[in-house]
A and B are shown apart, each in its own frame.
Chain A
Amino acid sequence: MFPELEEISYKVRELVLKMTTHAGSGHPGGSLSATDLLVALYFKKMNIPHLSSPERDRFILSKGHACPALYAVLALKEFFPEKELFTLRKLNSRLQGHPELITPGVEAPTGAEGHGLSIGNGIALAGKLDKLNYRVYVLLGDGELDEGQIWEAALTASHYKLDNLVAIVDRNSFQLDGATKDIKYLGDVGEKFKAFGWDVIEIDGHNFEQILDALDEAEEAKEMPTAIIAHTIKGKGVSFMENNDEFHGKVLTEEQLKKALEELEKQRRKIKEAK
């Protein structure tokens, strides 16, 4: 059990919903499915002495539309003030609608699906060249796997034996227009990565023990990259958002927000009591 991490996740979910409703637009559903993965990485796994240290671990949000979750995590890491989250998507904000390098802690500009794994390949190759021990984590959407570039990048990573690279697939089984099985059937994602020469670990992407074990296990892989297929729930944490593709790119109304925050608060209290 990781009550501290769960506590942070609830805080992140709360911030995601508040800031997107405040902004009036954004992508809450895919932000919530990715939240626990981000929290495990930033609050337990990744080593970031400071934002410009060459040996820091890197995280790339390839599914850039989930940036509200990333921004919330970066703010809770105190890379910038929490109140700045409420400038999201507003004129002159450092928090753009999709990730830009101007945000402290953002490692790559993303937003068009399909780019992050290749960028991760480049950073991982540089790590090998410089004999630095940092690790590179790339979060992919499952809908994003429709992009051909992902599979170009998957071949490159195994060809260059990038064992310092980890792709995490946020396997929430939804994309923009609906379920991935209806839009473009993906089949067995893990088997596909295996066929491309990757080590593959399947986990429940909302179970911290499994997430952290998988991230540790990925370090054991030698001369091959690791793909963690994280089975998640789009909209995780709010009953009426879960597995509801309506909230892919639509934010909560004030009324819905109130209800959602109450739900999150209830769950948070439960964790506290258990502690």
Chain B
Amino acid sequence: MEAATRDAYGEALVEIGEDERIVVLDADLSSSTRTKKFAGKFPERFFNIGISEADMVDIAAGLSLAGKIPFVSSFAVFLVDKGYDQLRNTIARGNMDVKVVVSHAGFSVGEDGASHQTFEDVALMRVLPNFRVIVPADYFEAKAAIKKIAFEKGPFYVRLSRPKTQTVYESEPKFEIGRADVLREGKDVAIFACGLMVGRALRAAEKLEEKGIDAEVVNVPTIKPLDEKTILKSAKKCGKVVTVEEASVIGGLGGAVSEFLSSAYPVPIKRMGINDIFGTSANWKEVLKWAGLGEENIVKIISTFVIS
């Protein structure tokens, strides 16, 4: 089935919204982030704050200080980049029970160009103490993740996307915070991926098999805390590691895996993602290809890396 992770969010909010502590805030993008669904069902617990992301994040903090469980949403680029001081100085410092759920991350809004595309957010959110960072692979995992974190104390950052993509799971998986999921066993190279790149990694593994390369594919939805046990096991088994993400090669999943393995078990690592550049206008698939994350290129880069 083809579906978008943001749609899972809208639907999950309506399910968990039965709990009266849940409140939802948006900054004039509720139709895009899908929080509008919640607003329709529970209008008294939905707050459109207007185009005021900094204000919105601190309002969520205030609501949580008074016992609510706020979900706060916008596009990744606006919420994180305009609300960062508030995410840091209020939510993270106060270890508050606020769920930051962004949509349109990475190249999601391809045609809108660099102003709307975000690659720095994973790194920015990962360095904030107390925050846990989650990048679901598909619609089903997004739904499970939202339902899970809602009632888990403390701040979370969940990164969602706009494009409808082929689901990786067939139904809602059991989502555990800090747990990676080995989707395909292999022995020549361990591919760690997150978000919409998980599906691409799986398809790349099939192509690699045709070339005689046996790739292991691990979905790592929780960038922080990292599932070190699973990552170590796959790295040891394969001896070579590739990370694939729709985020900067600096500080995201690739950064986290490299930081960990460099001391735990140094192996050659190839980080695939956005190479420290701004994006450009084009549709999602085209712009991914432009950035080197096209499916054929992933296969090419990995096979060269394994053979070398």
Contacts and interface: CB of A to CB of B under 8 A. Distances in A.
Interface of A: 54, 100-101, 107-112, 114-115, 118-127, 129-130, 148-149, 152-153, 155-156, 159-160
B66 to A, nearest CB: 3
A130 to B, nearest CB: 7
Contacts of A112: 85, 89
B45 interface: yes
Interface string B49-67: 1101011111111111111
A122 B60 contact: yes
A159 B65 CA distance: 21
A152 B90 contact: no
Interface in B50-92: 50, 52, 54-68, 70, 85-86, 89-90
B210 interface: no
B55 A123 contact: no
B23 interface: yes
B93 A109 contact: yes
10 contacts: A54-B66, A54-B67, A108-B62, A108-B90, A115-B85, A115-B90, A122-B58, A125-B62, A126-B63, A160-B47
**Which 6 pairs from chain A and chain B are nearest by CB?**
A122-B62, A118-B58, A126-B66, A152-B52, A152-B55, A122-B59
A249 B108 CA distance: 46
Contacts of A126: 23, 62-63, 65-68
Contact of B50 (A123, A148, A156): A156
Nearest to A111: B89
A69 B95 CA distance: 25
Nearest to A119: B62
Contacts of B61: 108, 118-119, 122
B2 interface: no
A163 B174 CA distance: 45
Interface in B100-146: none
B54 A118 contact: yes
**Residue from A110, A152, A159 with most neighbouring chain B CB atoms (10 Å):** A152
A262 B232 CA distance: 67
Contacts of B94: 100-101, 108-109
B50 A127 contact: no
Given A112-B85, A114-B85, 14 more contacts: A108-B94, A109-B89, A109-B94, A110-B89, A115-B85, A115-B86, A118-B56, A119-B58, A119-B61, A122-B65, A126-B66, A129-B68, A149-B52, A152-B50
A260 B98 CA distance: 45
A123 B65 contact: yes
Interface of B is mostly: helix
B58 A149 contact: yes
A153 B58 CA distance: 9
Contact of A122 (B63, B85, B95): B63
Nearest to B92: A109
A100 B90 CA distance: 10
Contacts of B47: 125, 160
Contacts of A111: 89
Contact of A130 (B55, B66, B86): B66
Contacts of B18: none
Contacts of A159: 50
B170 interface: no
Given A108-B90, A111-B89, A115-B89, A122 B66 contact: yes
A149 B23 contact: no
A124 B62 contact: yes
A119 B66 contact: no
A149 B44 contact: no
A100 B55 contact: no
B54 A152 contact: yes
A118 B89 contact: no
Given A101-B94, A108-B94, A122-B59, A149 B54 contact: yes
B94 to A, nearest CB: 5
Nearest to A128: B44
Contacts of B68: 126, 129
Nearest to A148: B54
